[in-house]
Amino acid sequence: MTSTTAAAPEVAPFQLFDLTVMRTRRLGPSILRITLGGPGSEGFRGGGRDQSLSLLLPHPGQREAVVPAAGGGSWRERWRALPEDERPVLRSYAVRAERPRPDGSTEIDLDFVLHGDGGPASRWARAAAPGDRLTVAGPAVADNTAVRFRPPADTDWVLIRADETALPAAAAVLESLPAGLTARVWLEVPCTEDRQALNTAAKARIRWLVRNEGAACGVETVRAAALPEGTPYAWIAGEASGVRALRHHLVRERGFAAERVTSTTYWTRGLSEERARKARSEASATESGTPEHLKPEQGQQVTR
């Protein structure tokens, strides 16, 4: 007799989750935490660190987002297939924390920076209340391409630099660091009251750069610092021009190996996410010769 076992169904690395707002809490003048969960969150499997997901948001005038119907292909292919004026607005956010619940659901904390420009995510977050629904495209497997903080095994110390949009990811990264690892950290926020208590077992030296206190916030803050000896790994995230400048400093002036610097653009000054995404796609297609829509999906790039 031959025994056979049915193969387990393949789990898509990213899929749509229909979530419920569980509660909201202000963390400071500029930052609002929204906790999502409830039925529909089963199967969410984040990888921690700087894990990101994408929110599917309504256009102005829509009561709710038009969610791509179930079917073949990835969620992004089904999203692209919708008419442009119906297609949900995408905004990517880092997962600040993830907590499995006894009933099999998962609670997910997202921290929103409340900009005065009234963008789609800020508008939704300001109005969010318990019971509201939100669809997100998130990970169903922990080891996924939307986790970018990946220090090599031979790392002696880490450098972290983030502005307020990347603060949730930086805080989660700090919590993930092993005990005793040396870390040098610069965190930029708008207001004194936006600073947060951070937990880490690492030997971390954290410097808050508070703009309303007149703190210098550019690459000069790192250029002036004495850095530890040993093999480094850097994770830098935030506004595009600042990320580029700091990456250039670390690689060209400090001698960091390029592959040991992970840099992520969370937003681009003067551009909406749609315009910034289009500019990146056009530049990428020009450099590689491959149209963006023909490239394999790589998970969610964190942008604003």
Write the pLDDT tens digit of every residue in 129-148: 999 999 999 999 999 999 99
Dihedral over Cα of 167, 170, 175, 181: its sign: negative
- Domain residue limits, the chain: 14-139, 157-267
Among 110, 166, 137, which residue's Cα sits nearest to residue 54? 137
What pLDDT does 275 receive? Answer: 52
The CATH superfamily of 14-139 is Translation factors (2.40.30.10)
DSSP 242-271: HHHHHHHIIIIIS---GGGEEEEEEE-TT-
User: Stretch 90-97: mean pLDDT, rounded?
Assistant: 97
Determine the pLDDT at residue 64.
86
How many residues comprise the chain?
304
Taking only the tens place, the pLDDT of each residue in 28-74 is: 999 999 999 999 999 999 999 999 999 999 988 888 899 998 888 89
pLDDT for residue 187: 98
Please state the rounded mean pLDDT for residues 219-232: 96
More confident residue, 275 or 226: 226
- pLDDT of res. 4: 37
Judged against a pLDDT cut of 60, whether residue 90 lies above it is answered with yes
Fold of 157-267: Rossmann fold (3.40.50)
Mean pLDDT of the chain: 87
Residue 111 has pLDDT above 80, yes or no: yes
pLDDT at site 12: 76
In the chain, the percentage of residues whose pLDDT exceeds 90 is 76
The pLDDT assigned to 298 comes to 33
C-alpha to C-alpha distance for 176 and 199, rounded to whole angstroms: 9
- Order across the sheet with 106-113: list the strands: 89-94, 52-57, 133-139, 14-26, 31-37, 106-113, 97-100
Q: What is the pLDDT of residue 291?
A: 34
pTM more than 0.95: no
**The predicted structure's pLDDT at residue 250:** 98
- Is the CB of residue 31 less than 8 Å from the CB of residue 164? yes
48 conformational bin, left if phi > 0, alpha if psi -120 to 50, beta if neither: left
Which tens digits make up the pLDDT trace of 155-204?
A: 999 999 999 999 999 999 999 999 999 999 999 999 999 999 999 999 99
Residue 110 one-letter amino acid? L
pLDDT value for 289 = 39
Tokens of 245: 């400048």
Helical H runs in the chain?
Answer: 75-81, 120-127, 167-176, 220-223, 240-248, 273-288
